[in-house]
Chain A
Amino acid sequence: MNRLIRSTLVSLTAASLMLELTGCGGNDRTESPMSTKPNQNQAAQQFNDLMQRPDIDQVTARYEEMYIQVRSALSVAFPDLQWRQTSQLTGAACGFKYPGLDADDEQRGLPNWMAPGSITDAHWDEAVEVVQNVARNYGFNTVVPTVNRPNDHEVVFYDTYEAELNFGSAVNTTLLVRTGCHLTAEAKKRGTPRLTS
């Protein structure tokens, strides 16, 4: 293949890449997935949407309450489960879905919990129901079984904020809660995006 054809194909490859990565080739999450170039209109709209949600501190407190109730309910149904915390609270900016909100937004991972020992296959559905009975009181109405094989189960509950309550059992039994995206208390109090304030 001569050099001209080769370099033309290389340029076409680069151009195709450009189209793919701007979302012209697919349903990407953002305009440009690998970089959050702020679009002020989009940021303002998202800020307004998030103003309708509780702030991150409020929602964390609510999920902590749910978390305690879930662990208690499971311990009542399965008395051998002895829960212990295995990680610390972490937080991050809301990510590529929310470009341009700077430090106004936050998504948090509540501490993970684990109980040694598993829930047997025969009792798994019962355990899911125990968790579901608590979770639905907190708006976690979407239920998604993600792993379901012998001695290996996982189910994920979601609420309307895309928060996740993850419950699984294999060698041990685990719980995980991660919030959706919320404004910080300071941003919600301010009421307008940082860029325009």
Chain B
Amino acid sequence: MVAWGEVIRWSPEPLAELVGVLNNRYNQLIGCADELRGTAMPEGWSGPAANAAAAKANQLADDAEELAAEGAMLRRAAGDVSDAITGVLHGVTEAQSLAAAHEFRIDDDGSVIDHGPAPVCTESDPDGSQATADRQRIAVELQDRVKEVLRSAEDVDNDFCAVLDRILSSHVLVPGSDGTDLAAVGNSGWPLGSLSIPAPPPTGATPADNAAWWATLSPNQRTVLLHDHPELLGNRDGLPGDTRSKANMARIPGERAAIQQQIDTANQQLAELSNQSELSPGAIQHIQDEIDQLEAKLGSLDSIEATMHRPGERQLLTLDTSGDRLKAAVAVGNVDTAKNVAVFTPGFTSTVDRSLSGYDNDMQNLQQHAQSLSDRYGDGGQVATVTWMGYEAPQWDGVLDGDQSVASDHLARVGAEKLDGFLNGLGASHDSTRQPLHLTALGHSYGSLTTGLALQRDTPVNDAVVFGSPGLDADQRSDLKVPDGHLFSAMSDQDSVPKLDVLNHFGISPYDMAGIDRVDTGNAISVDGTPLGATHTHSEYLQEGSTSQYNMAAIVAGRPDLRVSYMPPPASPAPQPPVHR
């Protein structure tokens, strides 16, 4: 088992130099070995001595072939290990930088030591609990990174040992290989010498684990994985958005073909059933429903491709064709380089095939306006906005169907776990590159329930807005792990969705919960008192030119202080009792 103190002292240079040395030896070996077979039986020499000499020469040539193969194997392995070490050391550097930035250190035994000052109590964090929680989160991330670096180092070490063992046991040549000349023989050791790439962390790994694993890979290894195994990368929270997007775009043709094949099979089954003398309507309907579902998935892929091809930078951060409905997340902008990232979770009836283009329009609009506000108020940080449809939102046909219903929080709970991973993935990825991140979660309608549940776990979210919300499954503000003064709600005057949860089925309404600041959706500040930019219904919160959108853009741009707060209408005077004369 390699120790942290050993790994941080690894160096790729000696092995890189060895590659050059082995190359020279290999070339020398090739130069003289073929001569050996050629001179084994000189022309005109025959008889027992000649035979004995030939046998000996051939034996020497066999030995030389084995040596060449060993040399090639070692040459390749040395090159790969040298490359892998650069990756592992990159993981070390990232972990050490992250530690130093937050006043932690990593000791030689791999333990993470907090040598920062005690958390300070502030107005927004009166008991210091928020600061303490932040430090604990960083400590856990550092421990994950140390673990991943050591796992990769162990993998590299074991692989190299396996290659060396084969060389030492002189069993390099593949049995039955036709080594007719030494160059070919030498190259037979080539594929055997290549190392495996450290496997990704197993199921259940945290985004920090994934980010740490990615940090230990060399650029070559990353390129190989992206080309050969994009399915391992596209939905892996903690990896850079650029990598996820390239991987997911590469996966589309294969996913499309797989779905089409399932449709063809189902159509075949349908035809067979229809030809039977006794029709089975139930079975036929079942297959038809399956075909409809698969067609919707194809439509979702069409929608994704159309959206990704619109002008401007976009990233396909999630592509999941499993389950009943396809799940996806599309960013407008670049989540890796943007400082201000907003993740929008829509709600009831949302599907990728029917809703992605509409929400993408909203996100492009929001991104452009938030960027303008970011420039205007001085921050200038780049903005990226994400339509996150990474969960299966409830649909019409599930309304009266138990936990599939919009009236149940089940689908929100399933979604919240995925949203939580996605949000933490953005944080872990930004930690890797030391890029500052201001993360805003936006939740609409049932999507605000999903968001509310996700925010009851630890995430790097700095600001959150819930709008048209039926509830957050929370009973008090402290259930929601968003810094004080940074959780906002919005409710338009004709939106009755927030008032539907009469039983507080989804917890205390966010509009009644102390500690959530409501923003205005009505008239913006105008010089002549005319109501301007008001929005009224459940679906208009992101409408261009509205006060609601302005508020969200200000919050996304990191300036919630610029929001227009909701002012309740003045109370009507109480009716005066009649005066009796």
Query: Which residues of A come within 8 Å of B, CB atoms?
Result: 1, 6, 9-11, 13-18, 20-21, 25-30, 32-37, 86-96, 99, 102-103, 106-109, 112, 114, 144-149, 152, 154, 156, 158, 162, 164, 166, 168-176, 178
Contacts and interface: CB of A to CB of B under 8 A. Distances in A.
Mostly helix, strand, loop or mixed at chain A's interface?
A: mixed
Contacts of A34: 346-350, 355, 445, 539
Given A27-B537, A168-B376, A178-B544, A94 B532 contact: no
A86 B367 CA distance: 12
Given A145-B526, A147-B525, A158-B545, A14 B400 contact: yes
A20 B371 contact: no
Interface in B366-386: 367-369, 371-373, 375-378, 380, 382
Contact of B361 (A17, A32, A95): A95
Contacts of B505: 10, 13
Nearest to B346: A34
A187 B415 CA distance: 38
Interface in B492-550: 494-497, 500-503, 505, 524-527, 532-533, 536-540, 543-545, 547, 550
A168 B537 CA distance: 27
B306 A103 contact: yes
Nearest to A106: B310
B562 interface: yes
A36 B372 contact: no
A170 B505 CA distance: 44
Contacts of B503: 1, 6, 9-10, 13
A17 B445 CA distance: 10
Which 9 pairs from chain A and chain B are nearest by CB?
A90-B312, A33-B539, A95-B361, A91-B311, A93-B357, A35-B354, A171-B378, A96-B358, A114-B375
B496 to A, nearest CB: 5
A90 B310 contact: yes
Contacts of B350: 34-35
Contacts of B17: none
Contacts of A154: 550
Nearest to A6: B503
Nearest to A114: B375
A181 B306 CA distance: 17
A28 B545 contact: no
25 contacts: A10-B405, A13-B505, A17-B500, A26-B537, A28-B539, A29-B537, A35-B351, A35-B355, A36-B355, A36-B358, A86-B380, A90-B311, A90-B312, A90-B313, A96-B361, A109-B367, A109-B368, A112-B368, A114-B380, A145-B527, A146-B545, A147-B524, A158-B545, A168-B372, A168-B376
A112 B545 CA distance: 16
Nearest to B408: A10
- Looking at chain B's contact residues, the main secondary structure is loop
Interface centre among B361, B537, B547 (most CB of A within 10 A): B361
Given A88-B313, A90-B332, A146-B547, 9 more contacts: A14-B400, A16-B496, A17-B407, A25-B496, A33-B538, A34-B347, A114-B376, A146-B524, A174-B376
Contacts of B378: 170-172
Given A112-B368, A146-B524, A152-B562, A30 B545 contact: no
B396 A112 contact: no
Contact of A156 (B307, B371, B545): B545
Interface string B462-505: 00000000100000000000000000000000111100111101
A151 to B, nearest CB: 10
A195 to B, nearest CB: 13
Contacts of A17: 348, 399, 406-407, 470, 497, 500
B459 interface: no
A172 B376 contact: yes
Contacts of B307: 92-93
A20 B355 contact: no
Given A16-B496, A108-B311, A146-B532, A176 B369 contact: yes
Nearest to B447: A34
Nearest to A87: B371
Given A16-B500, A26-B496, A152-B562, A94 B538 contact: no
A170 B559 CA distance: 13
Nearest to A99: B358
Contacts of A13: 407, 500-503, 505
A6 B311 CA distance: 50
A51 to B, nearest CB: 20
B245 to A, nearest CB: 16
Given A90-B364, A144-B533, A18 B399 contact: yes
Contacts of A14: 399-400, 405-407
B392 interface: no
A84 to B, nearest CB: 9
B526 A171 contact: no
Contacts of A176: 368-369, 372
Contacts of A35: 349-351, 354-355
A78 to B, nearest CB: 15
Which of A11, A18, A106, A147 has most B Cβ within 10 Å?
A147
Nearest to B445: A34
B527 to A, nearest CB: 5
Contacts of A28: 537-539
Nearest to A14: B407
Contacts of A108: 311
Nearest to A180: B544
Contacts of B306: 93, 102-103
Nearest to A101: B357
A26 B495 contact: yes
A148 B495 CA distance: 28
B376 A178 contact: no
